[in-house]
Amino acid sequence: MSELFSKSRLDQHPSTLRNWQLQAYNDFAAMLNDDENAYPCIPGKQGFLADHLRFGFIPDPNSEAASRELASLLMQYGQISRETGKYASLVVFTQPLEGVQKKSIEEYEHVFWELMNKVNSYDQKAWPPEVSRDPSQASWEFCFDGNPYFIFCATPAHTIRKSRHFSSLLLAFQPRWVFADINDSTPFGLKIKKAIRSRLVEYDGIPAHPSLNWYGQKDNLEWKQYYLRDDDQVPAQCPFAKMKL
């Protein structure tokens, strides 16, 4: 079974990791610790520094083992996430693809959605009633074991949107409850959104993707935010819609 790690444990016991795992974690730590080129997700950086994040590692994302182990991580994480701190997130590193031609952003997009489709097949619990099972509805978002999540994906193929670039395919799952005080109905939410957008534009060097918005707004679809391309294009329909929900 896949194992969850805290920052403090990884920092204190790096020898427990395989080479690719240690490299991925070190790359992530360097990205979040870079003060000169500050990563735009303020809650993510605060969560990392405060040891609120939990980390996991899965093999080649194209393998069946990857979906099985990611499902295991989500099952474990859903049971302990509220105990980890208010800036909770599960960050999952995937084993780099070796011996294959460099993938495009669209190819990584396919890998991401196929992985999430397979993970969904391991979910034995019904989605919360307030979450639509139709991705074309504003209340839809990915759920596992009854827990709704916002998903963030980064890949080696992203070069323009630097905030979506990472040395291997990276997934971050933010529990919906984290956003209870970070939304458009709170002064804190509006303030932090403005700060993140400003830092995002500076970090990427281009305007924020038009799909970025608040969960639940009528003109917002969550799935469009999970995987952003370098340009402003989005798939014609949610790749998750083909699943039997």
Residue 11 falls within a domain, yes or no? yes
- 19-33 vs 42-49: helix crossing angle, rounded to 10: 120
Q: How far is CA 85 from CA 4, 47, 144, 217, in A?
A: 15, 8, 20, 26
Task: Say whether 243 sits in a helix, a strand or coil.
Answer: coil
Give which of 136, 124, 133, 142 is closest to 226, Cα–Cα: 142
Q: Measured between alpha carbons, how far is 103 from 175 in angstroms, rounded to an integer?
A: 29
Tens digits of residue pLDDT in 127-145: 999 999 999 999 999 999 9
125-to-98, 116, 192 alpha-carbon distances in Å: 35, 16, 33
Per-residue pLDDT, 196 = 87
Residues of the chain with pLDDT under 50: 242-245
The C-alpha atoms of residue 5 and residue 16 are separated, in whole angstroms, by 11
Query: Is the residue at 84 inside a domain?
Result: yes
Tally of domains within the chain = 1
Is residue 242 domain-resident?
Answer: no
Q: What is the DSSP string of 43-108?
A: HHHHHHHTT-EEEEEES-TTSHHHHHHHHHHHHHHHHHGGGS-TT-EEEEEEPPP-SSPPPPHHHH
Distance CA 223, CA 225 (A): 5
Q: How far is CA 128 from each of CA 79, 123, 143, rounded to the nearest angstrom? A: 16, 13, 8
Domain-located, residue 241: no
Which residue segment(s) compose the domain that 110 sits in? 5-226
pLDDT single digits (tens) 195-223: 888 999 999 999 999 998 878 677 789 99
* Residue 215 resides in a domain: yes
Q: Under a CB-based contact definition with an 8 Å cutoff, are residues 143 and 131 in contact?
A: yes
Angle between helices 64-80 and 105-120 in degrees, nearest 10: 60
SS3 (DSSP) at 160: coil
**∠ at Cα 145 (136, 177), nearest 5°?**
70
Q: Is residue 235 part of a domain?
A: no
Instruction: Give the pLDDT score at 222.
Output: 93
Task: Note the pLDDT of residue 244.
Answer: 44
Query: Is position 62 within any domain?
Result: yes
Tell me, what's the pLDDT at 192? 79
**191 lies in some domain:** yes
Question: Which residues have C-beta within 8 Å of that of residue 33, sequence separation ≥ 6?
Answer: none
